[in-house]
Amino acid sequence: MEPYSLNTLLIVFGGGIIGTALGGLWAIILCALFGLIGCGILLSGGSDFVLAQIAFGPIFGPHTGGFGAALMAGCYAVMKKNHPGGSAKDILSPLLHTSGDVLLMGGALSVVAHLVLQVVVKIPIVNQSDGVAVTLVLMTFLTRAIFLKEGPLGQASSIKEHGLFGTNNYAISWAGWQSPMSKNIPMSFGMGLLSAGLAWGFKMQLDPLVEAGTVSGLGGFLAPLVIGWILCILILLPLQVSTGTIQQVPIMHCMAIIGAWAFMHTGSILLGGIVAVIAGMVQEACARLFYNHGSSHIDPPAVGIMICTLLINLAMKPEFLNLAALFK
């Protein structure tokens, strides 16, 4: 897709409106469903369009309608005092129950995010990170600052009361049910191993199709990388529709994609598990820094993906530290 064409911008705007109306979690579940369909199309020898342009591209990617639109418009809705849940941390409530200007704001901010991504991918070093995650994080920081007049770390009063990394015994935590390291570390390690294994399996199926010219190189790389992420998003459905401990499912898509990145660089399943543990720790640290004391949803997995993707690419790529050569 031509990124600056009128049709592309209109589609992004429309996707942003729909993602806002759905609310953040429903939107990203729909994004993951598109991703799963896209992976299936690639395995059957088809185009990468659904995976690369819809699920992880401008049409309904996580930075636009597929998640970011509702987060950004949620800050605007709180400023207007008509957010259905009353808090910009609420990613469950459909923002359809606000007003038309909130929906239009979600569409407009999706277009802005799409344009920001075109700049992000051209910035040296920064473009070694996950551009979608970088854009999502930047835009949610920006909308927190503009609409809620709040900095990246959140409210000074909360930081003073609980300490910057404090959780008040997990009462103010993002996903406090998985915050303790006694749970976080084994969960992250297991997800890293599983995601690396999924990447291995997908790569074995897709590499011959890429060599034959049946599947694009982009599709052959992207599907193994994101299949674990996709499945981890889909298992968040109970978070949307249930309550209590049934709702408290593990949130692991950061660990999944970072584990897959490690495997794609090195072919090592074990390394996938190890770096996923690091990703899980980074995710929790980001939650304590940017989410717990704030008034809006700065997504800890997105921040974790942004940081860890940058680090692993700088560590593994031949033009940088080339540590992947140690695994050959």
| pLDDT tens digits for range 164-208 | 999 999 999 999 999 999 999 999 999 999 999 999 999 999 999
pLDDT (mean) for 112-140: 99
Q: Residue 215's closest CA among 60, 50, 56, 2?
A: 50
**pLDDT of the residue at 182:** 98
CB of 145 within 8 A of CB of 72?
no
Chain mean pLDDT for the chain: 98
pLDDT band at residue 158 using 50, 70 and 90 as cut-offs:
very high
Both structure tokens of 325: 């050569």
82: amino acid identity, one letter: N
Q: How many CA atoms lie within 13 A of 181 on its CB side?
A: 6
Task: Give percent of the chain with pLDDT exceeding 70.
Answer: 100
Q: How far apart are CA 149 and CA 168, in angstroms?
A: 24
Give the predicted TM-score (pTM) of the model.
0.97
Q: How far apart are CA 214 and CA 35, in angstroms?
A: 19
pLDDT (mean) for 131-148: 99
pLDDT of residue 282 exceeding 90, the answer is yes
pLDDT band at residue 289 using 50, 70 and 90 as cut-offs:
very high
Three-state SS across the chain?
CCCCCHHHHHHHHHHHHHHHHHCHHHHHHHHHHHHHHHHHHHHCCCCCHHHHHHHCCCCCCCCCCCCHHHHHHHHHHHHCCCCCCCCECCCCCCHHHCCHHHHHHHHHHHHHHHHHHHHHCCCCCHHHCCHHHHHHHHHHHHHHHHHHCCCCCCCHHHHHHHCCCCCCCCCCCCCHHHCCHHHHHHHHHHHHHHHHHHHHHHHHHHHHHHHCCCCCHHHHHHHHHHHHHHHHHHCCHHHHHCCHHHHCCCCCHHHHHHHHHHHHHHCCHHHHHHHHHHHHHHHHHHHHHHHCCCCECCCHHHHHHHHHHHHHHHHHCCCCCCHHHHHC
* Count of CB atoms situated within 10 Å of the CB of 2: 8
pLDDT (mean) for 14-42: 99
**pLDDT of the residue at 328:** 80
